[in-house]
Chain A
Amino acid sequence: MPMTLVEKILANKVGHDVRPGQLVMTPVDQVFAHDLSGPLAISQLRSLGFKGFKHPEKVRFFLDHASPSSTVASANEHKTIREFASEWGVELVDVGEGICHQVMMEKYVRSGEIIIGGDSHTCMGGVLGALATGMGSTDVAIAMYLSRTWLRVPDTMRFVINGRTPHGVYSKDVMLHIIGRIGAGGATYRSMEFVGSTIAEWPVPERSTLPNMAVEAGAKCGLCPSDARTLEYLTQQGRAKDYTALSGDLDAPCNFEMKVDASALEPQIALPHNVDLVVGVTDPKVRNVRIHQIYLGTCTNGRIEDFRVAAGVLKGNKIAKGTRLVATPASRQVYLQGMKEGLWTAIVEAGGLVNSPGCGACPGVQTGILGSGENCLSTMNRNFKGRMGNPEAFIYLGSPATCAASALAGVITDPREVVR
């Protein structure tokens, strides 16, 4: 019987056919928490009389949201997590290593796995063909404790993306366009499966923005096939042995299919305060919107490819007076590679500033909180009121190219003229 990708993954794990809507108990391959979700998961484990992990190799803690610590409270929470990880022999991915989702993609996620993370953007792991999904601290604690979790088998929504994106248009624009069409709750409880010629052509890092933002449409997971591009990426990361081919059957029944012509898109912008308020960059609603802060980075667009695009626009130019630019690489690997390529030099010479790897300004707890009434344009994934720490500020979302072009002009700007 033909199956969608999420059905294949679940059926393989639970050992029998599955159908959408069914509740199943499934083994979990990897489970992680970070510095905001970890402390509560640890206290929940302790209240269960925790005496060690059955599978410590499946468990990780990341320190990325306040990285390095920004308050006494966060410093003490980091200390709690470091001590717990050391006591029970599980891996601690410490400050400076990067955002959990980026590091998971670079080093750990394998196709066909079931991965539970204490962060909503865990769904990014779907870029490598894994059922990766975000949960809260108690679910994470129980998944660590039992090495199992319960899931409702999701319906699949198939997105068939064809065509070559025009110059200056990227996967971020494609995903904003999709979320604008289906809405912030348009994929709630469902699996978004991304297929088509555009996906087949994109390397894994370009693809990763799509599953990363699946949760912004409410989805349980966002999945790309594990294919030749996956093998290419895993080989570059020195882990070709982690590759298995895996894709959904295109004739598997699913109750929603949307076709997207990537070649017809212009750069997209999400307006404050919802990710589904999406317009083209040439729309009058965003013309001449003054931007006080540009934020480049996050698990959505903090990769080397993103900074190559942004630095290419900024190099040899100056950021507009009255606009500041904050850049935060998503991982140590990105940071080091950017150093070798001179990307940080280009950004700093243009008038920007570069932070150490981590979530940076996105969660609103450190480095780059906005002033009241200020506008920010960012490569991040969500623009909710209060997201960057101030409910009186306004957040717009766009691609790294749109952000860099807008940094030079000081207003929201179409990047197609200036992208190299």
Chain B
Amino acid sequence: MTPTDSANTPGRAWIFGDNVSTDLIFPGRYVHLLSNMPELVGHTLEDARTDYAPNVKPGDFVVAGENFGMGSSREQAPVIIKLSGARAVLAKSFARIFFRNAINIGLAAIEVDTTGIKDGDKLTIDLEAGVLKDQASGIERRFEPLPPIMTEILRDGGLIEHIKKHGDINL
């Protein structure tokens, strides 16, 4: 499943707060696991909430407040969120390095008002139309779709695949 598929398949919301740092997403103490991704993925977001990694299902959503992914530039932070099965991260705002990294590795990072979404709610999202729906509460939010170049990078599966296909980045 790519981030641009499955507008109508619902996924569970996993709620996180403001200022989730890359140290919380990928704690530095696990840096020795970089060559063992399956085990590293089992620690995704562990210092923010311990029940996420063991229970997340493919197609679920990480839902957060302001400034998601603040701090270090470690690209493994979005990589392990993607490998954990999350279809997208939805947040009120993102730290800029995390945002770039997420798109580059093919994880949708969507800036949208997440107020009122509760843990466990079933969500659907249409990336290209820019619509988020919460089936539990009936909340429907519009968001600015990503710039075309970023949607294209996501569809290609990340920046490396995009460059392989097109040889360059054309804004």
Contacts and interface: CB of A to CB of B under 8 A. Distances in A.
A222 B158 CA distance: 29
Interface stretch (A32-40, A53-61, A87-95, A230-238): A32-40
B29 A386 contact: yes
Give the interface size class of chain B: 35 or more
A413 B72 CA distance: 29
Contacts of A24: 171
Given A134-B97, A136-B104, A138-B158, A120 B27 contact: no
A25 B94 CA distance: 22
Contacts of A119: 72-73
- Among B33, B67, B149, the most chain A Cβ lie within 10 Å of the Cβ of B67
A384 interface: yes
Given A73-B32, A119-B72, A218-B67, A135 B23 contact: no
Nearest to B102: A136
B75 A37 contact: yes
B28 A120 contact: no
B72 A139 contact: no
A48 B164 contact: yes
A324 interface: no
Nearest to A37: B73
A4 interface: no
- Among A135, A138, A139, the most chain B Cβ lie within 10 Å of the Cβ of A138
A345 interface: no
B76 A135 contact: no
Interface in B94-128: 94-97, 100-101, 104-105
Contact of A139 (B47, B104, B149): B104
Interface string B53-88: 000000000000011001111111000000000000
Interface in A268-324: 274
B163 interface: yes
B97 A136 contact: yes
A386 B73 contact: no
Interface string A217-241: 0101000000000000000000000
Given A119-B72, A120-B72, A218-B70, A386 B160 contact: no
A40 B171 contact: no
A368 interface: no
B20 to A, nearest CB: 10
A122 B119 CA distance: 36
Nearest to B21: A384
B24 A385 contact: yes
A146 interface: yes
A48 B95 CA distance: 27
A74 interface: yes
Contacts of B171: 23-25, 150
Interface string A116-131: 0011101000000000
Contacts of B24: 384-386
Contact of A47 (B21, B32, B160): B160
B23 A136 contact: no
A23 B171 CA distance: 7
Given A119-B73, A185-B70, A48 B96 contact: no
Contacts of A382: 21, 23, 71
A136 B73 contact: yes
Given A37-B74, A40-B76, A136-B97, A363 B158 contact: no
Kindly list the 5 A-B residue pairs having the minimum CB-CB distance in the complex, ordered from nearest. A136-B75, A185-B67, A136-B101, A364-B28, A384-B21
Interface of B: 19, 21, 23-24, 27-29, 31-35, 47, 66-67, 70-76, 93-97, 100-101, 104-105, 147, 149, 158-160, 163-164, 168-169, 171
